[in-house]
Amino acid sequence: MNYVISRLGFVIDFLSKATLLGFMAGAAVIVSLQQLKGLLGIVHFTSKMQLVPVLSSVFHQRNEWSWQTIVMGVCFLLFLLTTRKISMRRPKLFWISAASPLASVILSTILVVLLKSRVHDIKTIGHLPKGLNPPSSNMLYLHGPYLGLAIKTGIVTGILSLTEGIAVGRTFAALKNYQVDGNKEMMAIGLMNMAGSCSSCYVTTGSFSRSAVNYNAGAQTVVSNIILATTVLVTLLFLMPLFYYTPNLILAAIIISAVIGLIDYQAAIRLWKVDKLDFLACISSFLGVLFISVPLGLAIAVGVSVLKVLLHVTRPNTVVLGNIPGTQIYQNLSRYKETVRVPSFFILAIESPMYFANSMYLQERILRWIREEEQWIETNNDSNMKCIILDMTAVTAIDTSGIDTISELRKMLEKRSLKLVLVNPIGSVMEKLHQSNILDSFKSEGLYLTVGEAVADISSSWKAHL
């Protein structure tokens, strides 16, 4: 049981790179829009995260906009973006971008202190109480009428938190070229929330904005988290009064500068050119996060990705092969112009496992290919078709429905005086074909290792009988 629970991180395998690309862009836009509250000096702001409520709140509260806040906020934002650009162009100057957020906090706080008699409209953090959260372990109850509801809510919340947290982790893993272990992340998030529940903490998951700030600061290892935790602890215990005059606008500027660079529109353009379904997953994730919510946006994108997988499974690819003259190489007839048809042979390659989900489709598709080939032969006055070769090199697995499909095909083709030949079934497929005794119905010339060997052997056999 413990093993099964500790391996539930497989859920994140449904988050494709296209999904994460859309999630990253959508989350970056949402996080940036949320910071307009501090950047414009708005006091009454919506707590919702979607695009429409946020923009509605921004423009409905125009009377709260502060030009002093906007000027200072935009100036610091431009400063942060400039230092980031310098560090990107000259990697040796990475420290400029890393130090600019702290320098901005210090400088903006000093400016507010010096100009506090003239800048009344600039909102500051204000008084923050020192100390740690009070313990809450004594408030935990494992009984009562709401225990069942709490468990159900916890399971749903846990799955959503895991999905969102892993999406954030994989986003930055893709940028830094490292891997994220979903099982370890799941256990870490779970243990973190269990410990947090004993110390008056909110339910937490991977933070996009703080991760973006960490990433842009140049953090490379988990030591940065240790330093961050230590700094937060020292700040909570001793330094909270120092932030009294720190303006909210500088926090907004830091977060916006950190997340704005995570919108990779060029990658989205590449998705459109390469794979339309991947682009659909990307745009679904982006729009879902932007207009609905992060969990539902990811759920929609995962649904599109699963649909793509189902389409590939239920509608596998089959291609007609032709020979490259002067060689024993057989390639896709429609992609390689130098390939030619082999007289009297029709060669098909199946590029998918043969399962119950696609066996009927494959049977119908193969018969349709044969009918189309017969029409082509009749139109071009070519030699009659005598042998159908199925290249099974890419058939990585087969079940009983797939085996029955092969058997049915053989019987149907025999009635039409056509010979069916199988080429290169891999080990596990070959083993199942033997166990089903289907190979007994094929004669000596029914199974070969390569297409070239099958064509040569069957052709020589026909010549011998002339």
How does residue 436 score in pLDDT terms, banded at 50, 70 and 90? confident
For residue 5, the model assigns a pLDDT of 45
φ/ψ of residue 16, rounded to 5: -75, 170
Q: Spell out a b/e string for 292-308, using b for 16 or more CB atoms within 10 Å of the CB, else e.
A: bbbbebbbbbbebbeeb
Q: Contact, 401 vs 355, CB < 8 A? A: yes
How does residue 207 score in pLDDT terms, banded at 50, 70 and 90? low
- CA nearest 24: which of 297, 426, 272? 297
For residue 128, the model assigns a pLDDT of 76
Taking domain 315-464, whether its CATH number is 3.30.750.24 is answered by: yes
Q: What percent of the chain has pLDDT over 70?
A: 89
- CA nearest 390: which of 430, 450, 314, 443? 450
Tokens of 272: 């459109």
160-191 pLDDT tens trace: 666 667 767 776 777 777 777 767 777 777 78
What distance in Å separates the CA atoms of residue 40 and residue 254, rounded to the nearest whole number? 14
For residue 443, the model assigns a pLDDT of 65
What distance in Å separates the CA atoms of residue 430 and residue 436, rounded to the nearest whole number? 10
93-124 pLDDT tens trace: 777 877 888 888 889 888 888 877 666 677 77
Alpha helices in 260-358 (DSSP H): 265-274, 276-291, 294-314
Q: Contact, 63 vs 53, CB < 8 A? A: no
- What pTM value is reported for the model? 0.64
For residue 46, the model assigns a pLDDT of 78
Statement: residue 265 has pLDDT above 50: yes
68-99 pLDDT tens trace: 888 888 898 898 889 888 877 887 777 787 78
What distance in Å separates the CA atoms of residue 428 and residue 431, rounded to the nearest whole number? 5
For the chain, give every domain's residue range.
2-310, 315-464
Which residue did the predictor score with more confidence, 371 or 150? Answer: 371
